[in-house]
Amino acid sequence: MIYIQEIDRYDKIKEHLANSLGNSKKIVTILKEATLSDSIDLLAYDPAKKLFYDKIKKNTIPLKFLEENNSMTAKAYIFKTPYHSSHIRYDSNYNTSIDNPFKLSLSTQVIVPVINENRVIGIIRFSKSQYTFEQHILEFLRELEGSFSDIFSVEMDKIAEKFNSTFFAITKEEVYEIIDRLKDKTNLLNKNTENPEIKKLIHRIEDDIESISDYIEVDANHLPLYYQEEEPKESSNINILIADDVQMNVKILHAMLKKNPLLNLTFAYDGVETLNKIKQAYRDKNKIDILFLDHYMPGKLGLEIAQTIRRYEQMTKATSRLIIISITNDPTAIEKYQTLFDYHISKPFIRTDITNVMESIQDLKQKG
């Protein structure tokens, strides 16, 4: 039974959503508060690219993985009905990398397909870090379903892209001005201290400022939101594959590595594509030397990819080992799978971390 105060609450939430169309971050905040969720993914469908993409996090789910999969998200898409914890027992082929990229509890998700004219135009994934969603929240979501289609309308999506076109709520000119002032101040501090420990801290600040600049430059260059085309291959010493389903991570790593003319950079945006590119490189006798590997991608997890590579190397008695650099903030993975990965880099990326790893690899190659 729905009480009068609950109806009033639904109406207020619907009004808040209507007033926030085009502002994806505000919509996420409203839905979090309304459903007591810890995380919400807004996955809009792009028919041209045949994928669902998150408006804020920029991660994607290619349609082919939903059509060929038994995951909760796939079932929600195919059957055009919400899926939640009560359905999990039927999902023996639950796909962690599609449904649960951030390793949240299996029973703490509600996946709602957004339907318009009998087509799925978006998927909203509600997640909690612990505990399941109570029944009244599921009823609440059913009441709100009619308000979700506007979130993914073409007009609203264009406004959302404009809203999310910068990392800061101030103009780029103001951001650059502030960064320049920070650089000047740290330079002044550096000149006026002889304390080596303080100098180390100042250098770290300078490095962080440079890394922020890298992120802003990527945004300012208006690189594509979706799949970035592979660059033409040139004669190079080191072939690098960057594998991550979050385009922004690929763009940042590309920006930090591209200045080295000895590096040949290619990209993959899901687990299956990653393995296919590695296999193709072996067939072309132009094998990948270094793999930057995200741990949670659609199709295949980074762990599965690393295990496949190591098994192949062992089976073929490969003379050289593919260097795998894991991209993760998960300390458990770093500790547990030390034999699979050669290096670990956390996010957000810091230029010095990337430089140190590449220099370490170069030193090992020279010694070898």
| Same-domain check for residues 189 and 269 | no
Out of 163, 187, 210, a domain closes at 163
Task: Report whether 231 contacts 265 (CB < 8 A).
Answer: yes
Q: Is 0.85 topped by the overall pTM?
A: no
Total domains in the chain come to 3
Asked whether residue 231 is assigned to any structural domain, the reply reads no
Claim to verify: residue 137 and residue 243 sit in the same structural domain: no
Per DSSP, the residues of 64-125 read HHHHT--SHHHHHHHHTS-B-GGGGGG-TT--HHHH-TT---TTSEEEEEEEETTEEEEEEE
User: Residue 342 maps to which CATH number?
Assistant: 3.40.50.2300
Q: Residues 257, 329: one domain? A: yes
Residue 158 domain-assigned (yes or no): yes
**Nearest residue to 245 (alpha-carbon basis) of 74, 61, 69, 94:** 61
**Domain extent for 181:** 172-220
Both 9 and 150 in one domain: the answer is yes
Q: Give the CA radius of gyration of the chain.
A: 23
Q: Answer yes or no: is 229 within a domain.
A: no
> Are 58 and 118 within one domain?
yes
pLDDT attached to residue 221: 45
| Whether 20 contacts 26, CB under 8 Å | yes
Q: Based on the domain organization, do 278 and 335 belong to the same domain? A: yes
One-letter amino acid at 110 equals V
Task: Provide the pLDDT for residue 113.
Answer: 92
Asked if the structure places residue 228 within a domain, the reply is no
- Tens-binned pLDDT, residue by residue, of the chain (368 aa): 444 445 566 777 888 888 777 777 778 888 888 888 888 888 889 888 888 888 676 777 888 888 876 777 888 899 898 887 665 554 444 455 566 555 555 567 888 999 988 899 999 988 887 667 777 787 888 888 778 888 887 444 454 455 445 567 777 778 888 888 998 999 999 899 999 889 888 888 888 888 887 777 665 444 443 334 444 445 457 899 999 877 778 888 888 888 787 888 888 888 888 998 998 888 888 889 999 998 877 777 788 899 999 998 888 887 788 999 998 776 666 667 778 899 988 888 888 889 889 888 887 766 65
Q: Is residue 73 part of a domain?
A: yes
Do residue 194 and residue 138 come from a single domain? no
pLDDT score at 159: 47
> Do 9 and 98 have their domain in common?
yes
pLDDT at 1: 40
Q: Please indicate, yes or no, if residue 38 is contained in any of the structural domains.
A: yes
Q: What angle do CA 170, 176, 178 make, to 5 degrees?
A: 80
Query: Residue 290: its pLDDT value, please?
Result: 94
Q: Of 340, 234, 242, 298, whose CA–CA distance to 59 is shortest? A: 298
Are residues 151 and 177 both part of a single domain? no
Let me know: does 275 contact 308? Beta carbons within 8 Å.
Answer: yes
Residue 43, beta-bridge partner list: 54, 123
Is 226 inside any structural domain? no
Strands 60-62 and 119-127: unpaired
In a domain, 320, yes or no: yes
For residues 40 and 146, membership in a common domain is answered with: yes
Cα–Cα distance, 243 to 295 (Å, whole number): 9
* CATH number of the CATH domain containing 58: 3.30.450.40
Same domain, yes or no, for 244 and 215? Answer: no
**181 and 159 within one domain:** no
